[in-house]
Amino acid sequence: MSSLTRSSLASSSQLLKQHLASPTNAYSTAAPRKRRVVFSGIQPTGVPHIGNHLGALSQWQSLVKEVSQQPAESRDALFFSVVGLHALTDPKRLKEERRDMFAVLLALGLDDAAGGAVVFHQDQVPEHAELAWYLNCVTPVNRLMRMTSWKSKLATIRNANSEEEVDDSMLQLGLLAYPVLQAADVLLYKTTHVPVGHDQAQHLELARDLAQSFNRSYPGTHHSGKGKGKGVFRVPEVMLTTHPRIQSLRNPLSKMSKSDPAPGGKILLTDSRASIQSKIKSAVTDSIPGVTWDPTNRPGIAALLQIHSGYSGDSVEDLATRFSGEKGIRELKESCAEAIDGALSRFRGEYERVRKEDGYLRERERDGARRAEEVARGVMKEVREVVGTD
């Protein structure tokens, strides 16, 4: 992992112009490639599990690798954030889990200088909360009430058996309005693309709508000084993850979750080789001999095939054919555990090293926050100008 030197950091205005500009070539007739600005965040819930990795973090790693190979003058800008303001719970627990998650992102190599990624804590950049307030002022309450996320989260908080057992009398403003903060997280960097899973597409649709609504309400002045401008924000596009949702190893009809009461239902990125082998060996499957790709009738087998495919790169169909013999389920489990361990062994060592270096972590946190705020400060200056609070 490389440390970014202070001398490599541009000024606030330079960074904002650089990460939004599109490269041009006076001798080329081809249209220049438009520079993308990618933002994605993850809540600090401690060490992620393999479902988080295959569903989101591995896509972030692919983006860093892709960007590192782009010419410097047309390189995409990447912003990856630990979104602590979305996880205000027990203070002591939050402090530890913020640090855990930040160490995970560093150990995954997301701060690679060549990839140009900015890895930072959202709660260390005050412009996130400020922009959320401005967006609150153009957000219809009934739009937030219609969103499904607050009911499901409230049901979890209240230990309710179903969403029907909760109503808005139990609802706190922070839970209702957190999609607006989520929109602010995205729009603050003039983001053009957001990697999300299918269950987050509704929230990004809100961010797109709020960008357009704010631009209509506060278009500003045209750069020529005459007439209306086009507004501050870009309308971000969805980058849906290509990997399917990973199911629990103990209940393949449910999504793998950190809150799963069964420890064997999830594999954390820091689990040892022995722990991975044990959890995969005890994964729920069925009594049908051999392996087939049949997600509807054999969800346990399908879950293992998807995990194996995610870490080996082989298609689920090829894997099903390979393990179609009489001892196929046992062989699939052994091979799946090897694929997971092989993919995560280097990460485990790096995470253990980074997590122990408190001074290094704090330095990287300050570095990331500074780089993010240099861009955020410039965007908020534009926001205040069009609103009239500058």
Q: Which residues are catalytically annotated?
A: 153, 255, 258
Shortest CA distance to 329 belongs to which of 306, 305, 309, 310? 305
In 119-158, which positions are buried (b, 16+ CB within 10 angstroms) versus exposed (e)?
Answer: bbbbbbbebbebbbebbbebbeeeebeebebbbeebbeee
Model pLDDT, residue 225? 72
pLDDT of residue 22: 46
Q: What is the pLDDT of residue 382?
A: 96
- Low-confidence stretches of the chain (pLDDT < 70) are 1-32, 113-115, 156, 160, 163, 198-199, 224
Burial class of 88 by CB neighbour count within 10 A (0 to 12, 13 to 18, 19+): exposed
pLDDT of residue 196: 83
d(CA 351, CA 244): 26
| Distance of alpha carbon 63 from alpha carbon 209, whole angstroms | 26
- Tell me how far apart the alpha carbons of residues 59 and 376 are, in angstroms, rounded to a whole number: 24
Which strands make up the sheet holding 37-42, listed edge to edge?
117-121, 77-82, 37-42, 193-196, 237-240
pTM for the predicted model, two decimal places: 0.86
